[in-house]
Structures are given as C-alpha cells and as structure tokens.
Homo-oligomer: A and B are copies of this chain.
Amino acid sequence: MAVDPDALAKAFVEHYYSTFDTNRNNLLNLYEEGSMLSFEGEKIQGSHNIVAKLTSLPFQHCHHTISTVDSQPSAVNAGMLVFVSGNLQLAGEHHALKFSQMFHLMPTPQGSYYVLNDIFRLNYA
C-alpha cells in the first residue's frame, strides 16, 4: 500500500510538536548522532546535544499550533522534506510567537523516520 507522503508529513509534525509540548526529553528518539539542528542561527550536532539545547530553552511550558505543513520527497534515499509554519505560545506570555521550521527526514531500517536536518526560526514581526 502506498503511503501518502503529505499524510506522513502531517503525522510526523503532530507527533513532533505534541512530544515537544509534553516532554522534550522524548525527542531524543527522533534524532541520531549525525543529526543537525540550526536553532535561531546556532548550530548543534548530534541527538544528545540537540535535546540538551531544546530542554534548556528558558521556558517550562509551551504549546505549538500548526498553520501549514508542506512536504516534498528529497529524492535521495527516500528522504522527505517537511516545512512547517505555526505559532508558539509560551506559558505566561500574552502573545504567541510565529515560527517556521524545516525538517529533512530519513527512513530508519525499522521503517520509521529520523530527523537528519532541522532548521528553526522565529518570524519576528
């Protein structure tokens, strides 16, 4: 049965942000040692370093709301590019922050995906 790549991208995005919003430590399973994160221009490599960065962000509670999800095959080794825009609400803050983020997903031998590339930017007004 062919998998609809857009549905797969949407399922990944929902899983990623619900994990982020409930327990950021569990994001460790989604990265590998070769994974790269660019977070507001800061470059971080490797799953443990990436999760250390994400768990050290200066807020305890947050909630992501997704506005758009675009996906394309990356045409290499069954990889998939996922592009997200949305809002990030931090606990205690009045206004939500707008963000854009892209993921390059690569298949695992187990039939799942991991995040090879991750680039995150807030969209300042």
Interface residues of A (CB under 8 A from B): 34, 36, 38, 41, 43, 67-68, 70, 72-77, 79, 81, 83, 85, 98, 100, 102, 104, 116-117, 119, 121, 123-125
A119 / chain B contacts, CB cutoff of 8 Å: 70, 72, 81, 83, 102
B123 touches A123 (CB 8 A): yes
B83 touches A116 (CB 8 A): no
Given A81-B102, A102-B102, A72 contacting B36 (CB threshold 8 A):
yes
B85 touches A70 (CB 8 A): no
A100 touches B72 (CB 8 A): no
Main secondary structure of the interface of A (DSSP, over half): strand
CA A85 – CA B40 in complex, angstroms? 11
